[in-house]
Amino acid sequence: MRHVFWTVLLSVIAFAVTPTEIRSQNLPYKDPSLPVEDRVEDLLGRMTLREKVMQTVQRTYGKNTNINNIEKEVKAVDPTVGSLIYRSTSPELYNEIQRRAMQETRLGIPILCGFDAIHGFRTVFPIPLAQSCSWNPELVRLSCRVAASEAASSGVKWTFSPMVDVARDSRWGRVSEGYGEDPYLNTIMGIAAIKGYQGSDLSDPSAVAACLKHYVGYSMSEGGRDYQYTNISAQTLWETFMPPFEAGVKAGAATVMCAFNDMNGVPASANPYTLTEVLKKQWAHDGFVVSDWNSVEQLIAQGVAADDREACLKAFTAGVDMDMVDDIYFDHLEKLIEEGEIPVGMLDEAVRRILRLKFRLGLFEAPYVDERPEQERFLQPESIDLARRLAAESMVLLKNENEVLPIASDVKRIAVIGPMAEERAAVNGSWEGYGKPEDVTPLLDCIREKFGDRLEIDFVRGCGFDGDDRSNFDAALQVAVKADLVILCLGEKREWSGENGSRSVLELPDIQEELALYLGEADVPLIFVLSSGRPLALANVEPVAAAIIQMWQPGSQGGFALADILAGDVNPSGKLSISFPWSTGQQPVYYNVRRSARPKMGHYKDIPRTPLYPFGHGLSYTSFTYGKATCSADLVRIGEKICIEVPVTNTGKRDGMETVLWFVSDPVASISRPEKELKYFEKKLVRQGDTEIFRFEIDPERDLSFVDDKGNRHLETGEFYVLVGSQRVEFQLAD
């Protein structure tokens, strides 16, 4: 009660000064020469209870572009609100809102505007899953830089990205939003994204704050059904799902979003262990945690809160600092503090974290943005070039029988067939930000632009994405038999992946499979071009394909990137960051499985034991030969390092980029370890005929240790293997 008394008294004193007086005073929190922490404390000391609560409230402004974000209403903006999901690209509108916050409120605290710039803001890059197949973190960083500067120019200073939920079941539609099945790859790409968004200084006008999500375990939603409960052992949590978050926090991610799922019955939005004990105390994250959309209110649906008040109490005391959209903190936090259920110090700590970011972003000094026209801010030529390059590096050549690709000079006539050929929305993919279908040039047009001068090109759609209309099959067959090769463009509609985009079947819809098999009857090579937000199960149709390019949802420049690859102007270098199963029933399938009791037994009787295309698979138009891998020593002591090298020679007919993946295997440990784990990778250009040396420097503490079910690291001596290409290098670790 003493807290309440002082809070009320301070409010009275605070209000004795008029807003205009405070704004015109030279108060310490307005002094940019003071350290951020001093400014935060000064401002916090001047705030009323209500003003503090308002900082924890996030509302929306503008048009709802996400059908899964069901909102009660778009509320008129309260200028004391902490944050808005700002769904507009207008700097003028943003400045107007911000002007009210800066000039019409007592303390002039700027509003932090956030938005889902997931793979671009207006310039649309490939979906994150595709980006990870590029194995090129620098391109990922640069793409996030572009997204940041386009967003920031509209007033958006916070993006709800990157998602580093390690993918385990591709039925879950949101595998498209992350970086695949491996924790290390998610870590490296997550860090690249954070660095791209935030740059080296958050107060740079083109920087935006990043948000690591969804903390934690969301990708284990049971059966791949979105929003479901999860069953994750403490060991798997620490080994698989925590590492990208821990690394992202260490890399400086400004914020974290908690997830929708529960773990052991504890919803992620009400989990004091993950949010407070681990994130804030153990990892010392000094940014803030935002709930996911309505996830505080959803504690009621999840059965851990009887009503909104209890949901507020549980989420806030667990460590959720800001409440996205559902207004539960707005309605209940103040009262809970007044009643002594929540100590005011806890609110101070949440507000401190939110204000700290606003100061770091420089919002107090520079709350407004330049009101420049869109053509100066969006889709700049260098951004478009980057989108094309990243799309090309993200595409994976899964199969290329008899080197049917690139399209040879003696090919005179091709047929383009399939529902994806004229598609725009699916090429951009889900979470396309402000990307527009009209920014996309369909695959067919890109193919015509690239080859129109030298090839006859026929087009027949053949079938829809789904349904059972086969009436166009014969027309498709007729153009196919006249052609020297067929480019068959198949895949998923935009809304079949992404949030709430789970599918029970990973095969292509029956109608598309039937079309492929029908055309397979013709004596003409079929080149499959596949666009999807997840791996597809291709075993039924793969036998009729001469070549397969997995183009994912490649973003607005994807068609041009594809044409570059078909023509051989770009040599494909993508490799899978996620396994392509034989069939849906093989889910979950991922490379870094824990050892089995009977490794040669226990597999399904009706399909091979391995995926159709495993993690790391991806072909090139050239060939690479790995020489003998050598180790600098066969015994390493704790505290020392050793280096393993492998020469890679380009033995083919053109320059190409190769990514070498380095795995570690610990054959005997105190707990059963995964068969192998990726610890390092490197991508390099290897010119035709040249040899490049790839190196992996092993730091035992970092690369040979493992975490236990409480997150403690253990380094055990004994035998280790490094796996590279098809080779195994053995060495010992000793005290």
Binding site for ligand NOJ (CB under 6 A): 66, 69, 116, 160, 213, 292-293, 499
How far apart are CB 302 and ligand NOJ at their closest, in Å?
A: 15
* Nearest alpha carbon to residue 562 among 407, 419, 338: 407
- Residue matched to tokens 């292509």: 508
Nearer to ligand NOJ, 86 or 293 (CB): 293
Task: Point out the catalytic residue in the list 292, 308, 439, 666.
Answer: 292
How far apart are CB 177 and ligand NOJ at their closest, in Å?
A: 7
Rounding to the nearest 10 degrees, give the CA dihedral for residues 347, 350, 356, 358: -100
- State how beta strands 83-87 and 112-115 pair: parallel
- The Cα–Cα gap between 149 and 93 comes to 18
- The Cα–Cα gap between 132 and 198 comes to 19
Nearer to ligand NOJ, 2 or 72 (CB): 72
Strand ranges for 554-655 from DSSP E: 624-626, 630-631, 635-637, 642-650
Sign, CA torsion 258/259/264/265: positive
How far apart are CB 556 and ligand NOJ at their closest, in Å?
A: 21
659's torsion region: left (phi>0), alpha (psi -120 to 50) or beta?
beta
Nearer to ligand NOJ, 220 or 545 (CB): 220
How far apart are CB 260 and ligand NOJ at their closest, in Å?
A: 6
How far apart are CB 132 and ligand NOJ at their closest, in Å?
A: 17
Told to judge if 116 belongs to the known catalytic residues of this protein, a careful annotator would answer no
- Residue matched to tokens 């020392």: 640
Nearer to ligand NOJ, 301 or 693 (CB): 301
Nearer to ligand NOJ, 64 or 625 (CB): 64
- The Cα–Cα gap between 141 and 645 comes to 27
How far apart are CB 62 and ligand NOJ at their closest, in Å?
A: 12
Rounding to the nearest 10 degrees, give the CA dihedral for residues 443, 449, 454, 455: 30
Sign, CA torsion 125/127/133/138: positive
Q: Which residue is nearest to ligand NOJ (CB)?
A: 160
Write out the two tokens for 120: 């671009």
Residue type, position 530, single letter: L
* Nearest alpha carbon to residue 461 among 487, 435, 439, 432: 487
- The Cα–Cα gap between 652 and 645 comes to 22
Nearer to ligand NOJ, 160 or 662 (CB): 160
Q: Which helix (H) or strand (E) holds 140?
A: helix 137-152
- The Cα–Cα gap between 697 and 641 comes to 7
- The Cα–Cα gap between 211 and 159 comes to 6
- The Cα–Cα gap between 79 and 58 comes to 12
Write out the two tokens for 292: 């996911």
Residue type, position 433, single letter: G
How far apart are CB 66 and ligand NOJ at their closest, in Å?
A: 5
Residue type, position 28, single letter: P
Count how many Cα atoms sit within 13 Å of the Cα of residue 167 in the half-sphere of its side chain: 33
* Nearest alpha carbon to residue 57 among 77, 29, 87: 77
Nearer to ligand NOJ, 177 or 658 (CB): 177
Nearer to ligand NOJ, 294 or 532 (CB): 294
How far apart are CB 292 and ligand NOJ at their closest, in Å?
A: 5
- The Cα–Cα gap between 357 and 560 comes to 39
Nearer to ligand NOJ, 293 or 681 (CB): 293
- Per the document, the length of the chain is 735
Nearer to ligand NOJ, 213 or 356 (CB): 213
Contact 580, 612 (CB under 8 A): yes
Beta bridge partners of 282: none
Nearer to ligand NOJ, 160 or 179 (CB): 160
- The Cα–Cα gap between 562 and 533 comes to 16
How far apart are CB 293 and ligand NOJ at their closest, in Å?
A: 4
How far apart are CB 261 and ligand NOJ at their closest, in Å?
A: 11
How far apart are CB 379 and ligand NOJ at their closest, in Å?
A: 23
Q: Which one-letter DSSP state was computed for residue 539?
A: T
First to last CA, the chain: 57
Contact 697, 641 (CB under 8 A): yes
Work out the burial of residue 24: count CB atoms within 10 Å of its CB; fewer than 13 is exposed, 13-18 middle, 19 or more buried. Answer: exposed
Q: Which residues carry out catalysis? A: 292
